[in-house]
Amino acid sequence: MRPGLTRSGRIRASAPALGVAGLTMAGADEPAIPDPTAASGGDRARRRMVEHDVASRGVTDPRVLAAMAAVPRHRFVDPAQMPEAYADRPLPIGGGQTISQPLVVALMLEALELAPGDRLLEVGTGSGYAAAVASLLVARVDTIERIAPLAVQAAQRLAGLGFDRVAVHVGDGSEGWAPAAPYDAVLVSAAAPLLLPALGPQLAVGGRLVAPVGPPGEQRLVRVRRGPEGFAPVEDLGGVRFVPLLPGVEGA
């Protein structure tokens, strides 16, 4: 058993964004991003990010905007990437994965219509950034990551920053995380050819699922709702580009 892992696959929190959206990136004529490593630079960079890259581009939910402004994204990237932490673009985090573009994280969380008492499942922990933001919006986040070293790092980072509503698990995200089901919302941070069949039964009545679906170059962000009589028709939220969701577990 690897240090930091429980036998069930959950990370001990005592001491983990994968999406890439095909959206307009920042231009050279836009305001400079403050250095997050300088005194108060992180706070100013987050405010600029929320105002310039998120709120001005269609995200209106005040709770989502406040959560995005509260989470220090520069603490979820590699040190070499820290100067770029508040640019509206994905950044590499190792293992062939990325931390998602801030706008995409905000759009997906807004689409989930989260309430304070909700329980959320995230498929694809990555660095833990989206889980951290989501944890300020719901009662509990269960997040699952197939790459064990990334999961360990994310769990340690989340615990160190005080995000204690998040439980990180190592496992095959295509299977969801049945032990903690049902969930009020499911966020999938990597693309599969079709909606993952294992996730439907893990969604509570009234629950919402947001996921990128489709092959590379043809991915769509979709939302599915579960009503009393079954699932409502899929809602198409627009074109995106995400890393692929792979089965199995790596490095456990």
Query: For residue 52, what are the CA distances in angstroms to 27, 38, 130, 250?
Result: 12, 20, 19, 37
- From the list 8, 14, 100, 189, the catalytic residue is 100
C-alpha span between 34 and 154 (Å, rounded) = 25
100 is catalytic: yes
Which residues are bridge partners to 168 per DSSP? 143
Catalytic residues: 100
